[in-house]
Structure 1
């Protein structure tokens, strides 16, 4: 019988990002298997469903997309057998307190290197000091749990380098392959028409527009490739990207936030997904693109070093190598049909059900 789980997360609906998607998807599938997974999250405009527990929160002054929840343990968590912290911050501390009070096993997911957000607070020497403090705090928090869950081997290696000695288990975030699958030519044509996109090759990105994702690299190569560049999503870096795009000789479009129901058509309409972010712990959007048959040209850094398989699901380039990025895009466009077949052949390997199987194994080991 599956254990009852309390998942604590500092980011949840209506915010849409990789953490929210993972928590919600794992919860839905856990309950479909007959288990119960409570979700504790910062209060927002999201109307809580059964087993969702909003707690009081404040808007984070430096990053409007993030609400800082008070470290509260809500009522209604009776019968919980495993506590899962998806954050090391305020609600992670609440998760730790609940586990300690009730002598329950505590699992922690490592979704994002917190040091990478230092630039939202300050720059230069102060930013580097914040990064060091963040790294030491992560080490302290993660070394006091029963197991750490990461989505990729490079992320596990990063934690070992950080000094984390707790057991680190690989549990991929998983892709909903029922949702993310190829779409037909009529649906692709309708997507282009709906968003006023021209005929011809399309390359682009969707996701949070964060400074740490180095999306400027896409604009560096945009004038040199024979394709329209499309950005979907939103975030603090968007205004700067739009301003820069106006100054270059390239066709660059910003679609803004897309409803999740539109994402399969977005991915499938692209000829290549561009992913310059060096800070990914897995790069879920890359796997979603692959599941829709679209190759990824990604930086050879972080988890993308493993997520992108050269010549199979896309191509790598070295961080800062503009010529290499451009060459990877050109190669992906030239090899489109072959790469599409290879991407689709790997769909079962990244399916959500496999991820939840691995998660259940972790919970069983710590009980």
Structure 2
């Protein structure tokens, strides 16, 4: 097994899809006898484990939970066979520098369409578009210097090829989910703990960011006899609470849920609603499916591929709130059948399957 060092601008104590993927891949890599170190922006709230190396960092002022790490390479990670950058910025540059200095392969994962978050830097359209163009040019420059770029979906591959114009070898490889952890469980205790009653539940968990268009989910259930359940938190939460009150939607905001609670959260829901058009994969959709819960997602971004109509849930046209509500109603009616189909596909989305393919990619690049 190769010795790998991962460079990331997002890591614990922040919990998101990038952090989860790195942690899960690393744990599985260690199970197989390999070494995978992590270089990340140091945060005083997190105590690193062996093989985790924090570097000096500062909070990013425009996006809560993100820190900017100094682009340096700790001496402890220099003896490695391959570099895997999970960011094109900050510490991604440190990974690029290490790969070039040691003449070893550089793999980069495209986790997030950075230009989609330009609105956090400015609300002025001309400035926002300028930031988007600058980010796209920079991403093209960085990813073209990788020996291979991993993307979690065909949509992300199309973006890299046709929007950014990246010429590197682009490999579609799902991040995968831990199906040992995410499996159906009884939701009775979860319902009782949070006072959710006995009626149908529609919900979402994840970051409450404006770019995820979660207000569409609130509007979609306004005419349905359901309780709407939000897990997670973020800058849009206050506006979502006000919108739910204005529309007289029975909405419960549970805040951040521990990872141990998530299987019960997903299993308790009848339908998972996912209106975000900016996902590169949408891991929470796969987690919900692995727990037997169908997903109604926007027919845009990675969710075009992550959700399979009539199998793992249904799509709706972006911006069509009425169609969103109708698709949720249909998924509620077909919940039992859709649940069975979701569970039949658990092995296909497992992290074990993803790490098998990751290992094959690493082997090919180091052999070349």
Superposition map of 1:1-367 within 5 A: 2-44=1-43, 45-123=45-123, 124-161=125-162, 162-184=164-186, 188-367=187-366
SS for the counterpart of 1:50 is coil
Quote how far apart the aligned CAs of 1:267 are: 0.2
Quote how far apart the aligned CAs of 1:212 are: 1.1
Take 2:101 and 2:239, find their aligned partners in 1: how far apart are those partners?
47
TM-score, normalising length: structure 1: 0.97
Take 2:80 and 2:67, find their aligned partners in 1: how far apart are those partners?
25
Take 1:72 and 1:220, find their aligned partners in 2: how far apart are those partners?
46
8 Å Cα contact 2:78/2:98 also seen in 1: no
Q: Which runs of 5+ in 2 are unaligned?
A: none
Take 1:321 and 1:248, find their aligned partners in 2: how far apart are those partners?
17
SS for the counterpart of 2:77 is coil
Take 2:9 and 2:361, find their aligned partners in 1: how far apart are those partners?
22
Quote how far apart the aligned CAs of 1:169 are: 0.7
8 Å Cα contact 2:230/2:252 also seen in 1: yes
Quote how far apart the aligned CAs of 1:362 are: 1.3
Provide Cα deviations, 1:78-130, integer angstroms capped at 9, x if missing partner: 42000000000100001011111111110000001000110111122211111
Quote how far apart the aligned CAs of 1:246 are: 2.1
Take 2:233 and 2:38, find their aligned partners in 1: how far apart are those partners?
25
Quote how far apart the aligned CAs of 1:219 are: 1.4
Take 2:222 and 2:242, find their aligned partners in 1: how far apart are those partners?
15
Q: Which runs of 5+ in 1 are unaligned?
A: none
8 Å Cα contact 2:14/2:65 also seen in 1: yes
8 Å Cα contact 2:177/2:349 also seen in 1: yes
SS for the counterpart of 1:108 is strand
Provide Cα deviations, 1:298-344, integer angstroms capped at 9, x if missing partner: 00011100100000000000100111101100000000010000000
Take 1:91 and 1:264, find their aligned partners in 2: how far apart are those partners?
33
Take 1:81 and 1:322, find their aligned partners in 2: how far apart are those partners?
50
Quote how far apart the aligned CAs of 1:168 are: 0.3
Provide Cα deviations, 1:117-174, integer angstroms capped at 9, x if missing partner: 1011112221111111111111111011100001111111111112000000111101
8 Å Cα contact 2:117/2:211 also seen in 1: yes
Take 1:193 and 1:23, find their aligned partners in 2: how far apart are those partners?
33
Take 1:107 and 1:288, find their aligned partners in 2: how far apart are those partners?
26
SS for the counterpart of 1:306 is helix
8 Å Cα contact 2:148/2:169 also seen in 1: yes
Take 1:5 and 1:322, find their aligned partners in 2: how far apart are those partners?
45
SS for the counterpart of 1:246 is helix
Quote how far apart the aligned CAs of 1:222 are: 2.5
Take 2:138 and 2:158, find their aligned partners in 1: how far apart are those partners?
18
TM-score, normalising length: structure 2: 0.97
SS for the counterpart of 1:333 is helix
